Structure 1
Amino acid sequence: MSGHGLLYPLIALMMLLWSANFIIAKVAVREIPPLLLSALRVALAGLFILPIYRWSRRNGQTWAKGDLRLLVALGVFGVALNQVFFVAGISRTSVAHSALLIGITPLMVLLIAAATGQERLSARKILGMLIALAGVAILNISPAPAGAGGATLAGDLLTLLATLTFALFTVLGKEVTERCGTIAVNTVAYTGGALALSPVVVWNAGSFAFAEVSWSAWASLLYMALFPSVVCYLIYFHALSRIPASRVAAFSYLQPLIATLMGVVLLGERISIPLAAGGSVIFAGVYLTERG
Structure 2
Amino acid sequence: MNRTTLFGFAPLLASALWGGMYVVSKWGFDAIPPLTLAFLRIVLGAAALGVVVATTTPRRTFAREEWRRFGGLAVWLTAALTTQFVGTDLTNASQGSVLTVLTPVFILGLGVVALDEQLSRRALVGSSLAVFGTFGVLAERSLDTIATNIDPVGIAMLVLSSFFFAGFTVYGKPVIRRYSALEAVTYATILSVPLFGLFVPFELAARDVSLLAVDVTTSVVAAVLYLGLASTATAWYFWYKGMEYTDATHVAVFFFAQPVVGTLLGVAFLGEQVDAGFVVGGVVLAVGVYLVSTDSLD
Task: Provide the residue aligned with 1:17 in structure 2.
Answer: 17
Percent identity, aligned pairs only?
Answer: 23
Q: Match for 2:185: what amino acid?
A: N
Answering whether residue 206 of structure 2 is matched by residue 208 of structure 1, we say: no
Structure 1 position 157, deviation (Å): 3.7
Map residues 49-88 of structure 1 onto 2, 5 A cutoff.
49-59=49-59, 61-77=60-76, 79-88=77-86
Answering whether residue 123 of structure 2 is matched by residue 120 of structure 1, we say: no
Q: 1:62 to 1:232 in 2, by over 3 A?
A: same
Q: Please give the root-mean-square deviation of Cα atoms over the aligned residues, in Å.
A: 4.7
Q: Match for 1:80: what amino acid?
A: T
Task: Give the secondary-structure state (helix, strand or coil) at the position aligned to 1:88.
Answer: helix
Q: 1:126 to 1:56 in 2, by over 3 A?
A: same
Task: Give the secondary-structure state (helix, strand or coil) at the position aligned to 2:184.
Answer: helix
Task: Provide the residue aligned with 1:225 in structure 2.
Answer: 228
What CA distance in whole angstroms lies between the structure 1 residues aligned with 2:111 and 2:253? 20
Normalising by structure 1, what TM-score?
Answer: 0.72
What CA distance in whole angstroms lies between the structure 1 residues aligned with 2:191 and 2:80? 13
What CA distance in whole angstroms lies between the structure 1 residues aligned with 2:225 and 2:275? 32
Task: Provide the residue aligned with 2:48 in structure 1.
Answer: 48
Assess if the C-alpha contact under 8 Å between 1:39 and 1:194 holds in 2: yes
Map residues 1-292 of structure 1 onto 2, 5 A cutoff.
16-59=16-59, 61-77=60-76, 79-121=77-119, 132=131, 143-146=146-149, 154-203=153-202, 207-210=208-211, 211-215=213-217, 216-234=219-237, 253-263=256-266, 266=269, 283=285, 287=289, 290=292
Residue by residue, what CA displacement relative to the aligned partner does 1:218-260 show, whole Å, maximum 9, x if unpaired?
3311220111112344556778889999999886554321202
What CA distance in whole angstroms lies between the structure 1 residues aligned with 2:115 and 2:19? 32
Structure 1 alignment gaps of length 5 or more: none
Q: Match for 1:209: what amino acid?
A: S
Structure 1 position 69, deviation (Å): 0.9
Residue by residue, what CA displacement relative to the aligned partner does 1:1-34 show, whole Å, maximum 9, x if unpaired?
x999xx89x9797665332223211211122111
Structure 1 position 95, deviation (Å): 3.1
Normalising by structure 2, what TM-score?
Answer: 0.71
Assess if the C-alpha contact under 8 Å between 2:182 and 2:241 holds in 1: no
Q: 1:270 to 1:82 in 2, by over 3 A?
A: farther
Assess if the C-alpha contact under 8 Å between 2:112 and 2:249 holds in 1: no
Task: Give the secondary-structure state (helix, strand or coil) at the position aligned to 1:58.
Answer: coil
What CA distance in whole angstroms lies between the structure 2 residues aligned with 1:162 and 1:200? 16
What CA distance in whole angstroms lies between the structure 2 residues aligned with 1:182 and 1:164? 21
What CA distance in whole angstroms lies between the structure 1 residues aligned with 2:267 and 2:42? 28
What CA distance in whole angstroms lies between the structure 1 residues aligned with 2:111 and 2:36? 32
Q: How many residues align?
A: 281
What CA distance in whole angstroms lies between the structure 1 residues aligned with 2:84 and 2:18? 13
Q: Match for 1:213: what amino acid?
A: D
What CA distance in whole angstroms lies between the structure 2 residues aligned with 1:155 and 1:165? 15
Q: Match for 2:214: what amino acid?
A: E
What CA distance in whole angstroms lies between the structure 2 residues aligned with 1:55 and 1:285? 40
Residue by residue, what CA displacement relative to the aligned partner does 1:59-88 show, whole Å, maximum 9, x if unpaired?
5x33232221121121022x2121112222
Structure 2 alignment gaps of length 5 or more: none
